[in-house]
A and B are shown apart, each in its own frame.
Chain A
Amino acid sequence: MRFVPVVLYTDALLWLLALGLAVYGWTCARRPHLAAPWRRVFQSRAALASGAVLAIFIVIGLADSLHLRRPPSIAEQSVLDLALGHLRERGEKTYSAPLATRLYAKEQVEAPGGKTVREYPRLRYGGSHLQDEADATRDIAWLALRGLLISAVAWGAMFLMIGRFMKRRSPQVPWGAAWVALAVALALAGPALSLSQHWHVLGTDKVGNDVLFQALKSIRTSLVIGTLTTLVLLPLGVALGIAAGYFKGWVDDVIQYAYTTLNSIPGVLLIAAAVLMMQVVIDRNPEWFATAAQRADFRLLILCAILGLTSWTGLARLLRGEALKLSQLEYIQAAHAFGVSNARILGRHILPNVAHIVIIAMVMDFSGLVLAEAVLSYVGVGVDPATTSFGTMINAARLEMGREPIVWWSLAAAFFFMFVLVLAANLFADAVRDGFDPRVRVGGLVTA
């Protein structure tokens, strides 16, 4: 079997970002003054537990960002698609409840006697290995137990292998919280994966796709939006904010004018207008994209760029104030007196002194962006409808709220995964802020 690797734009950027983070982590580990705030961050239990959860999400997202193609077909598949191929391929006809053996809707089925009756037909894959549906509960319990056992063994093995090593290396870090979080995650993932061999753990959606698989695919979209947007936002916010505060005068006036103007346009409307425009451009140039996945990927990238372009104002304003304050300090005045060039002062003195604000802003923005994606997709200016995301999942499921019995599983899955991701991100961001914010240390201010 031959593979041709395919690199989508967002794949490349996401991996570059991961690489950048790894390099940053490596640098931090070798420089005590850079590592100190992170050491403070990782003294909090919440940071460790939420960090472990985020790490799991990131691993899933990165696995979903390695795309390849098998030559006869032109469609891209990610490593996650291949690993969970059984989930992707076993589609049903339409809705089915979680762990159901029968379809949600009645259909004409041919009875043994040659007559047709209207009944709920058996699912093609969900529980189809059972001869008798009465065995379903026992089978589910058995599979769940098996998954739980495998998880327990995996967790135990990991703990024995690296648990003591990590404890010895950095004893002041409360590793227990991370291990507990990992145990909870594995206790959910093990049974789910084990059950997914024969069942649709979270049911199927309107066209019969497995909801669990969709939720897992949505993670990548959220990560892309939450991280790549900051990649656009950071250079703009940092460069313009510092320039305004440091150079003052007409530079300050122009930059202040620019961000007041951008700020005064209602955010959603500006984003909506920009996205609609880009949509027209994309529709006009279908020859740019070889496959639907590439087009969806391009739209996702553009959405990140637009979100970044419209939301750098807050960071810029913050950094402007900070740079204004810093440029009055004695050591900067002294640098001026010694004839140090502006570029050098900015690079050596100002930038390192606002780095903590940048890091705090970056982690704080993540959760807001993940939540915003769902809202934007609902408004119709979010990701491409072909991209699986929490927003598109909610949007599709919302239309079925009126049905009886209610189709709740798609909504529940999307909201649950989104909640866990955003909660972990929020907790982690709080810990980062507490670790990096100098006011917390000096003034003893409690800002949990």
Chain B
Amino acid sequence: MLAYILRRVLYAIPILIGVNLITFALFFIVNTPNDMARMHLGVKRVTPEAIEKWKQERGYDRPLLWNEKSAGVKRLTDTIFFEKSMKLFAFDFGPAEDRRDIGEEIGARMGPSLALAMPVFLVGLAVNITFALMMAFFRATYLDFWGVVLCVAMMSISTLFYIIGGQYVAAKLWNLVPISGYDGGLDAGRFVILPVLIGVVSGIGSGSRWYRTIFLEEMGRDYVRTARAKGLAESVVLFRHVLKNAMIPILTGAVVVIPLLFMGSLLTESFFGIPGLGSYTIDAIQAQDFAVVRSMVFIGSVLYIAGLLLTDLSYTLVDPRIRFD
């Protein structure tokens, strides 16, 4: 088991280097530091001196990949690629465009992101599985048919509609909750409840339909026929046997996203003014702050790989037949 985990972690390294190379190519080769300086300083009337000064302040005045002027190891390390991309491996993100430290900012914003993303994930999973089980239980009846129709309709509605509509009705029309904002501690609940609700509702359509397919596929298997043949009630078959066996496909989809919950939700956070990592990323994209985008790409990749590993490990928990040794 330990050897397996170690092997997977080692396998992650080339992938992360690949991620870094892609972002590096995007950020520094397609769009050279000179272009970045020109864009941040305004396209017109920029003197070469101003560009040089901007680059120097941010450490972009070095060569990209290979420094001819230095000696020894410094030829590799005294470059933009090493300074800006490889240092991410040590989780050293450097300062953002507004000179604040990205690492500190990320640490401070993780809490609010989790306070929103965690309930959405847990409640959403519970609600979707419940609906899917109900549809599977009443399969091939009108209840199932209209449930699927409702799911397809809900899938076809843009997330933006759920957010804007929910915000308007609950916060503005009925004055139940504040429209946007955030507060630490227990007070956070007041601000988070509406975005959580919206997050759950907007996921019901695709989620419960997906789980319903999984349950139905599982119900076509032989063990289900055996269970029915020995006289078990349909509800027992469904909850005792099908639900347990459907855990593997459910886990594949669910566990992978758990680490990514840290990244927060881009849309909901920025609409509700929650100071999490999602709104941080959106602000960075809109301000074209590449240092932040680069860091978030890296963190996202690390978390995704961690999710894949967690998924594999969780298989051993639900299915003792699976072993990695």
A residues touching B (Cβ–Cβ < 8 Å)? Answer: 257-258, 260-266, 268-270, 272-274, 276-278, 280-281, 283-284, 367, 371, 374-375, 378-381, 390, 394, 398, 401, 406, 411, 415, 418-419, 422-423, 426-427, 430, 443, 445-448
Q: Is the CB of A264 within 8 A of B158?
A: no
Q: Is the CB of B285 within 8 A of A379?
A: yes
Q: Is the CB of B285 within 8 A of A401?
A: no
Q: Is the CB of B297 within 8 A of A266?
A: yes
Distance of A16 Cα from B158 Cα, bound (Å): 29
**Closest Cβ of chain B: how far from A245's Cβ, in Å?**
20
**Closest Cβ of chain B: how far from A213's Cβ, in Å?**
21
Q: B39: which of A278, A280, A371, A445 is its contact (CB, 8 Å)?
A: A280
Known contacts A276-B288, A415-B161, A261 near B139 by CB under 8 Å:
no
Q: Which of A258, A273, A426 has the most CB of B within 10 A?
A: A273
**Closest Cβ of chain B: how far from A366's Cβ, in Å?**
12
Known contacts A264-B305, A443-B220, A446-B140, A270 near B31 by CB under 8 Å:
no
Q: Is the CB of A257 within 8 A of B14?
A: yes
Distance of A281 Cα from B36 Cα, bound (Å): 11
Please tell me if B152 contacts chain A, counting CB pairs below 8 Å.
Answer: yes
**Closest Cβ of chain B: how far from A7's Cβ, in Å?**
28
Q: Which residue of chain A has the shortest Cβ distance to B287 in the bound complex?
A: A380
Q: Which B residues lie within 8 Å of A272 (CB)?
A: 285, 293
Interface segment, B21-29, B93-101, B116-124, B184-192? Answer: B21-29
Q: B297: which of A269, A378, A418, A419 is its contact (CB, 8 Å)?
A: A269
Given contacts A265-B22, A443-B220, 9 further A-B contacts (CB under 8 A): A266-B260, A269-B296, A283-B39, A380-B282, A411-B164, A419-B161, A423-B152, A423-B156, A445-B216
Distance of A427 Cα from B152 Cα, bound (Å): 8
Q: B263: which of A266, A277, A445 is its contact (CB, 8 Å)?
A: A266
Q: Which A residues lie within 8 Å of B285 (CB)?
A: 269, 272, 276, 379-381
Please tell me if B213 contacts chain A, counting CB pairs below 8 Å.
Answer: yes
Q: Which B residues lie within 8 Å of A419 (CB)?
A: 156-158, 161
Q: Which B residues lie within 8 Å of A406 (CB)?
A: 168
Known contacts A269-B300, A381-B285, A280 near B15 by CB under 8 Å:
no
**Closest Cβ of chain A: how far from B204's Cβ, in Å?**
15
Q: Which residue of chain B has the shortest Cβ distance to A261 in the bound complex?
A: B18
Q: Which residue of chain B has the shortest Cβ distance to A398 in the bound complex?
A: B164
Please tell me if B30 contacts chain A, counting CB pairs below 8 Å.
Answer: yes
Q: Is the CB of B216 within 8 A of A371?
A: no
**Closest Cβ of chain A: how far from B271's Cβ, in Å?**
9
Q: Which A residues lie within 8 Å of B36 (CB)?
A: 280
Those of B10-48 within 8 Å (CB) of chain A: 14-15, 18-19, 22-23, 26-27, 30-31, 35-36, 39, 43
Q: Which B residues lie within 8 Å of A274 (CB)?
A: 26
Known contacts A272-B285, A277-B26, A446-B216, A263 near B152 by CB under 8 Å:
no
- Number of A-B contacts defined by CB within 8 Å: 134
Q: Which A residues lie within 8 Å of B31 (CB)?
A: 276-277, 280-281
Distance of A29 Cα from B267 Cα, bound (Å): 45
Q: Which residue of chain A has the shortest Cβ distance to B152 in the bound complex?
A: A426
Q: Which A residues lie within 8 Å of B217 (CB)?
A: 445, 447
Q: Is the CB of A445 within 8 A of B220?
A: yes
15 CB-based A-B contacts, threshold 8 Å: A261-B19, A265-B23, A266-B263, A269-B300, A273-B26, A277-B26, A367-B155, A374-B160, A375-B158, A379-B266, A380-B285, A406-B168, A411-B164, A415-B158, A445-B217
**Closest Cβ of chain A: how far from B18's Cβ, in Å?**
4
**Closest Cβ of chain A: how far from B40's Cβ, in Å?**
11
Q: Which A residues lie within 8 Å of B160 (CB)?
A: 374-375, 378, 394, 398, 415
Known contacts A264-B301, A265-B19, A277-B30, A367 near B156 by CB under 8 Å:
yes
Q: Is the CB of A266 within 8 A of B304?
A: yes
Known contacts A269-B296, A379-B285, A446-B139, A283 near B43 by CB under 8 Å:
yes
Q: Which A residues lie within 8 Å of B9 (CB)?
A: none
Those of B124-148 within 8 Å (CB) of chain A: 139-140, 145, 148
Q: Is the CB of A277 within 8 A of B15?
A: no
Q: Which A residues lie within 8 Å of B140 (CB)?
A: 446
Q: What count of chain B residues pass the 8 Å CB interface test?
A: 52
Distance of A380 Cα from B220 Cα, bound (Å): 46
Please tell me if B113 contacts chain A, counting CB pairs below 8 Å.
Answer: no
Please tell me if B281 contacts chain A, counting CB pairs below 8 Å.
Answer: yes
Known contacts A270-B297, A446-B140, A263 near B220 by CB under 8 Å:
no
Q: Which B residues lie within 8 Å of A446 (CB)?
A: 139-140, 216
Please tell me if B159 contacts chain A, counting CB pairs below 8 Å.
Answer: yes
Q: Which residue of chain B has the shortest Cβ distance to A404 in the bound complex?
A: B172
**Closest Cβ of chain B: how far from A119's Cβ, in Å?**
27
Q: Is the CB of B159 within 8 A of A371?
A: yes
Q: Shortest 4 CB-CB distances between A and B: which pairs? A: A266-B300, A261-B18, A423-B156, A422-B156
Q: Which A residues lie within 8 Å of B282 (CB)?
A: 379-380
Q: Is the CB of B300 within 8 A of A265?
A: yes
Q: B15: which of A260, A270, A281, A401 is its contact (CB, 8 Å)?
A: A260
Please tell me if B153 contacts chain A, counting CB pairs below 8 Å.
Answer: yes
Q: Which A residues lie within 8 Å of B148 (CB)?
A: 448
**Closest Cβ of chain A: how far from B24's Cβ, in Å?**
11
Q: Which B residues lie within 8 Å of A427 (CB)?
A: 152
Q: Which residue of chain B has the shortest Cβ distance to A416 in the bound complex?
A: B161
What does the 1/0 interface line of B203-226 toward A look like (CB < 8 Å)?
Answer: 000000000010011001000000
Those of B241-284 within 8 Å (CB) of chain A: 260, 263, 266-267, 281-282
Distance of A268 Cα from B216 Cα, bound (Å): 32
Q: Which B residues lie within 8 Å of A277 (CB)?
A: 26-27, 30-31
Distance of A127 Cα from B92 Cα, bound (Å): 63
Known contacts A264-B19, A266-B300, A276-B285, A374 near B158 by CB under 8 Å:
yes
Q: A426: which of B155, B161, B213, B216 is its contact (CB, 8 Å)?
A: B155
Distance of A74 Cα from B10 Cα, bound (Å): 59
**Closest Cβ of chain B: how far from A227's Cβ, in Å?**
18
Distance of A365 Cα from B266 Cα, bound (Å): 22
Q: Which B residues lie within 8 Å of A381 (CB)?
A: 285
Q: Which B residues lie within 8 Å of A379 (CB)?
A: 266-267, 282, 285-286
Distance of A422 Cα from B304 Cα, bound (Å): 29
Q: Which A residues lie within 8 Å of B301 (CB)?
A: 264-266
What does the 1/0 interface line of B92-116 toward A look like (CB < 8 Å)?
Answer: 0000000000000000000000000
Q: Is the CB of B18 within 8 A of A281?
A: no
Known contacts A277-B31, A401-B168, A375 near B159 by CB under 8 Å:
yes
Known contacts A379-B266, A446-B140, A273 near B164 by CB under 8 Å:
no
What does the 1/0 interface line of B297-313 toward A look like (CB < 8 Å)?
Answer: 10011001100000000
Q: Which A residues lie within 8 Å of B267 (CB)?
A: 375, 378-379
Distance of A109 Cα from B168 Cα, bound (Å): 33
Distance of A264 Cα from B303 Cα, bound (Å): 8
